Structure 1
C-alpha cells in the first residue's frame, strides 16, 4: 500500500517501556471476564498502566478483543494470545494491541519465531497492511510506522514450565524479547510442587528468572494476587506487575463489603 497523506499514525513512545527503562515499577492488571467497553478506562482510572486481555483461557474472539483494545485509553492494551503461532500474534497486533504475551515459551527457537512474527521486515516477517486498526486507520508514512512498530510494542514471553526455566537465560538473550513473565501456577505444576508458592525451589525459580532478565537488559513480570505478593516480587527484581484480574478483584471487594455490612448490622441489633 503506497497511498499516503499528511496525517500521522500513532508513533508515541510506549510509556510502559520508558518507565521500565528508567528503572521504575510498572503496575497494571489482567482482564478475563468483563468484556465491556468501559473496563480498560476503569482500570486506567484506577491507576493501571497496562491492561492484559486474556485470550488463552477466556475463549474471547478477536472481534471481542478488538473492541476491548480499541476502547482502552490511558493504559496500554496488551493481548495474551492462546498459542505460539504466527496468526495469533499478528492478529493481536493488527487489532491494535500495544504488546503481546505468549504462553509456554520454552526455547530460543520459539522465542526467535515469536519475535519474527511480531516484527516487520527487516527484523521479522509480520505481514504488512496499513490504514487499519493497529495504526489508527491513518494512511501515512508506512516505512516510518513499521520502524515504530518494530521498537515500541512489547513482547512478553511466559516462563511457566521446567523446560522454559532451564532455557530462561537463552530466551532472555533473544533480541526483541522484552519481558520474562512467570506463570506461577503452571510453573509449580511443571515443577511437581503445584500451588506451593512458599517452596524454596519455586522461590529460587523466581530469582533465576529475575537474574536472567537483569543480565540481558530485559524485565521480569508477574501477576500478583495481593500487595504482599507484589512487594515480595519487587524485592526479588520484578518490575512489571499485574495486580490481580477483574473477576477476582471484583469478587474480593464485594465479599469484603458484604462481610462488613453483615458485621455492622449484627453490632447494631
Structure 2
C-alpha cells in the first residue's frame, strides 16, 4: 500500500513526477512511469475532464502513483477523486488552517476524518480485504497536497503546514505572482522570498515543499531552496518542446 512517492519523502529522497493536462490516453501513466516518474498528477482544475476520464487514467497508471488535482475544496470532490483510486489529492487556493483541516477530514476515513466508506470498488481494486485495516493504511499512506498560491495562503502558510494530515505545501507559481501583483515575475525578490517562506514552513512542520518545475535550471534553484517533490512540467508542454526542438534541428538540415 505504501506509495512510492510518500516512502521517498519519508526517506528524504528527491521525489519526481509530472502533470497530465491534455493526453487522456490509457498509456500516458505507464509512459510517464517508464520514463522514471514516481507520480503523475492528473489535472481536473484546468481541464474539462469528468470522473469517467479521470477514473480510466488512474486505473491504467501503474508503477507510478496517480494523484488528482481537484478543481476546488469540497467533500464530494475530494472523496470522488480518492474513490477513483487516486493515491492522493492536490487542492488549489488553500488560504487558512481551517480550510486545510477540512480537506484532511474529507480525505481521511474515521476516526481521522469523515470520508465515506465503500469497499470492493475501484479505490481498493475491487478486492475483498480487512476493511478496517485498509482504512488505517490509506489514512497513513495517501497524500494530501495543499497549494499555496495566493497572498492570503502565503500569510497563513505556517498555520497550514502545522495541520496534522497535510503532507505537502505546493506553490502555484503563476497564481501566486498574480496575487502578489507581479504576474510572471519569477525573478522578483518578493516571489523568491515567498518560495523560501514556503520551504521553511514545510521544513519546520516536518512536511515537504512541492513545485511544478519548467526545466532543469528551475528545478536546481528549487532544490537548493529545499523543495523535495517536483513535477517536471506537463504533458502538452513537454511534447511541444520536444517536437519544436526536433523539427528545428531537421529543418536546419535542409
Q: In the TM superposition, what whole-angstrom CA distance separates every residue of 1:140-161 from its partner, at most 9, and x where no partner exists?
A: 2100000011100100000000
Q: In the TM superposition, what whole-angstrom CA distance separates every residue of 1:91-148 from its partner, at most 9, and x where no partner exists?
A: 0000000010000000010000000000011000000000000001012210000001
Runs of 4+ in 1 over 2 A off after TM superposition: none
Q: How many equivalent residue pairs?
A: 254
Cα distance in structure 1, aligned partners of 2:128 and 2:75:
25
- Which protein shows a greater Rg? 1
What is the root-mean-square deviation of aligned Cα atoms in Å?
Answer: 0.5
TM-score normalized by the length of structure 1: 0.94
Cα distance in structure 2, aligned partners of 1:46 and 1:15:
15
Corresponding residue of 1:60: 49
Residue 216 of structure 2 is aligned to residue 230 of structure 1: no
Residue 184 of structure 2 is aligned to residue 195 of structure 1: yes
Cα distance in structure 2, aligned partners of 1:41 and 1:123:
32
Gaps of 5+ in 2: none
Cα distance in structure 2, aligned partners of 1:223 and 1:28:
9
TM-score normalized by the length of structure 2: 0.99
Cα distance in structure 2, aligned partners of 1:238 and 1:79:
20
SS in 2 for 1:140: coil
Gaps of 5+ in 1: 1-11
- The residue correspondences of 1:162-177 to structure 2 (distance < 5 A) are 162-177=151-166
SS in 2 for 1:158: strand
CA-CA distance at 1:264 after TM superposition: 1.7
Cα distance in structure 1, aligned partners of 2:137 and 2:210:
23
Match of 1:27 among 3, 16, 35: 16
CA-CA distance at 1:21 after TM superposition: 1.1
